[in-house]
């Protein structure tokens, strides 16, 4: 029976790391509610059902208040406790800040920052009232370095990392844990969708497997650790090195990879 299984929520769960996280939940016996911006969310739900669980898809624009609130209302109306949630939805936007369209950058902030806070508010209040729950916030290794030519994206992910760590401490004695997942560059459509196909990040051949990143995130969530870097040993080393490398040096390195035409 569906109600005998725990329920998980995944924002941006129709593709990329989000879909892989949804599959992790499904394979571990969770029913899953997923959101996505396109019709693909319904196809992804069908794939999750093939894993023997119930899937609840909801199409929504994560850049709008109504889109975020609508997905939460959809989940809340299921009348079931949300035992785990992955706030994964996020977008990038490449190019020089001086040239980029302001509306595109404000949309990024609306999804990566405002939407994360909005959904976290609903999820955390729900979980605290139940006395239990596990929350995963997907940040990025980009949170640990300046990100020229992704000048709004990196700071949005730094917010997510700090937000997760701060919220974790506030919720210490509530039965609710918060974990941040910091993926490195991952083999998905992320950089193509960010308009970075002509940069070194546009080449997926060297990137981390999104299924592995999702497995690492899921395992960390269940273990209740504060954060985990998602990816191979080189990615984990990069995150460690970023703690001691001067900011200008990191910025110059990132610029070589993200500058338009660098591929």
Spot the catalytic one: 153, 207, 218, 259: 153
Cα(152)–Cα(112) distance, rounded to whole angstroms?
A: 10
| Residue 139 falls in the annotated catalytic set | yes
CA 5 to chain centre: 24
- The set of long-range contacts for 79-83, using a CB threshold of 8 Å and a minimum separation of 24, is 80/3, 80/7, 80/31, 81/6, 81/7, 81/126, 81/130, 81/133, 82/7, 82/8, 82/9, 82/123, 82/126, 82/127, 82/133, 83/6, 83/7, 83/8, 83/30, 83/132, 83/133, 83/134
User: Would you give the DSSP letter of residue 137?
Assistant: E
Q: Order the strands of the 82-87 sheet from edge to edge.
A: 55-59, 31-36, 7-11, 82-87, 133-138, 176-183, 227-230
Query: Quick one: which of 149, 163, 152 has its CA closest to 110?
Result: 152
| Residue 157 falls in the annotated catalytic set | yes
HSE-up of 184 (CA within 13 Å, CB side)?
20
Instruction: Give the tokens for residue 234.
Output: 């080189």
Spot the catalytic one: 14, 15, 139, 188: 139
The backbone torsions φ and ψ at residue 259, rounded to the nearest 5 degrees and listed phi first, read: -65, 135
> What residues contact 27, with CB distance under 8 A and at least 6 apart?
51
User: Would you give the DSSP letter of residue 228?
Assistant: E
Spot the catalytic one: 23, 157, 207, 250: 157
Catalytic residues: 139, 153, 157
């Amino acid at each position: 029976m569906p109600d005998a299984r725990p329920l998980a929520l995944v924002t941006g769960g129709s593709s990329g790391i989000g879909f892989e996280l949804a599959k992790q939940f499904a394979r571990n016996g969770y029913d899953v509610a997923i959101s996505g911006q396109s019709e693909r969310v319904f196809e992804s739900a069908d794939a999750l059902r093939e894993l023997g669980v119930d899937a609840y898809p909801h199409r929504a624009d994560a850049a709008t208040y109504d889109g975020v609130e609508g997905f939460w209302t959809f989940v809340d109306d299921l009348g079931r406790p949300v035992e785990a949630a992955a706030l994964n939805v996020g977008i990038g936007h490449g190019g020089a800040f001086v040239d980029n369209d302001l509306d595109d950058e404000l949309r990024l902030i609306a999804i990566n920052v405002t939407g994360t806070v909005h959904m976290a508010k609903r999820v955390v209040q729900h979980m605290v009232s139940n006395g239990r729950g596990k929350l995963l916030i997907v940040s990025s290794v980009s949170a640990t370095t300046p990100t020229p030519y992704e000048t709004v994206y990196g700071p949005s992910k730094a917010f997510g990392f700090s937000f997760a760590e701060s919220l974790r401490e506030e919720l210490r004695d509530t039965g609710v844990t918060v974990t941040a997942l910091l993926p490195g560059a991952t083999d998905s459509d992320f950089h193509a969708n960010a308009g970075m196909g002509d940069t070194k990040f546009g080449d997926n051949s060297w990137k981390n497997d999104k299924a592995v990143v999702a497995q690492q995130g899921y395992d960390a969530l269940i273990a209740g650790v504060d954060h985990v870097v998602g990816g191979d040993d080189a990615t984990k080393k990069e995150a460690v090195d970023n703690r001691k490398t001067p900011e200008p040096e990191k910025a110059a390195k990132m610029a070589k990879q993200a500058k338009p035409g660098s591929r």
